[in-house]
Amino acid sequence: MAKIIDGKMTSTAVREKIKRDVSKFTEETGKTPGLAVVIVGENPASQVYVRNKHKACGEVGIYSEVHELPESINEDELLALIDKLNSDKKINGILVQLPLPKHLDEEKVLLRIDPNKDVDAFHPVNVGKIMIGNFSFLPCTPAGVMELLKHYEINTSGRHCVIIGRSNIVGKPQAMLMLKENATVTICHSKTENLADITKQADILVAAVGRANFVKADMVKEGATVIDVGINRNAEGKLCGDVDFNEVEPIASYITPVPGGVGPMTITMLLKNTLTAAKEQYK
């Protein structure tokens, strides 16, 4: 029976450390780390997420401002706001909440953010730094996964890590972070043949495919660590992950639940990135 990897408990412990570090930073520099979040339109899930970010900043002592823009805003107006935030000394981190309305060019918007303030680590400069292993910021979800493994003292060195999913937000950066920690990495995706044969070789299996209960017991090796990054709704409308928890939990040695696993770590790592950005900018 698997040991549950508790993201809420880990997140609380990490946030306590961030709070102490923010306080120390403010005492030493007289500056408060600052985060600006930009949200366009009225996507309910995005609004909840932005509120949670704002609240989390307040809890650890980070200054936070939210820019709520109408869905009808044009691209030039949005880019002008980003330019303003880029030059604002009290803002160390900028995050544009995705997805954006279809009439806005997401790539163009993300490119406009100063790489030194790109606390989501989506700018190509930061993506390149992750590739060569010389980074300041990490994408928040993959960084949260690594923090959970570290907290539970789950060794990655020499282990075979299989990642299901190749997105720029999770799958690809997750692979780079695992490589940096000396894991042997295989990335699987929708075109992978004989998927179960590959996933059954994994010492650490990361599911980031976006399909409810996709990973079944016959895809998991006995004693594997199973990390579920997915957030989906099942047929009954209940929140669930990419892993069929009830099937897989008896086989795994460690497993993250959904909710309460990787999810709580994402905002926590955003706070950590914002503090890192402040330290770099005030050097």
> Is 97 a residue of the active site?
yes
Catalytic residue among 6, 114, 118, 120: 120
Helix (H), strand (E) at residue 77: helix 75-86
14 CB-near residues (< 8 Å, 6+ apart): 147, 151, 265, 268, 272
Catalytic residue among 6, 21, 97, 228: 97
222 phi/psi in degrees, rounded to 5? -55, 125
Catalytic residue among 6, 21, 53, 228: 53
Amino acid 77 reads: E
Amino acid 214 reads: F
Pair 170, 139: CB distance under 8 Å: yes
> Is 120 a residue of the active site?
yes
> Is 150 a residue of the active site?
no
- DSSP per residue over 96-151, as a string? EPSSPPTTS-HHHHHHHS-GGGBTT--SHHHHHHHHHT--S---HHHHHHHHHHHH
Cα–Cα dist 238/11, whole Å: 23
Would you please indicate which residues are annotated as catalytic (active-site) residues?
53, 97, 120
